[in-house]
Amino acid sequence: MGTPPADPRKKVTINTLRSLHQKREPITMITAHDFPSAHVADVAGMDMILVGDSLAMVALGMEDTSEVVLEEMILHCRSVARATKGAFTVGDLPMGSYEIAPEQALESAIRVIKEGRVQAVKLEGGLEMAPTIAKITRAGIPVLGHVGLTPQRQNALGGFRVQGKTTASALKLLEDALAVEAAGCFAVVLEAVPAEVASLITEKLQIPTIGIGAGNGCSGQVLVQVDMSGNFPPGRLLPKFVKKYGDVWSESLRAIQAYKSEVKSRAYPAPEHTYPIPKAEVADFERVINQPELDR
Active site residues: 191
Local structure of 92: helix, strand or coil = strand
Residues 101, 200: Cα–Cα separation, whole Å: 32
Q: CB neighbours of 169 closer than 8 A, spacing ≥ 6?
A: 163
Residues 65, 148, 54: CA angle, nearest 5 degrees: 20
Residues 174, 140: Cα–Cα separation, whole Å: 25
Task: Based on DSSP, count helices (H) and strands (E) in the chain, helices before strands.
Answer: 12, 8
Any alpha helices (H) in 116-166, and if so which ranges? 130-138, 154-157
Residues 286, 263: Cα–Cα separation, whole Å: 26
Contact 212, 222 (CB under 8 A): yes
Local structure of 18: helix, strand or coil = helix
Residues 245, 128: Cα–Cα separation, whole Å: 37
Contact 171, 177 (CB under 8 A): no
Q: CB neighbours of 227 closer than 8 A, spacing ≥ 6?
A: 58, 238, 239, 242, 244
Beta bridge partners of 27: 220
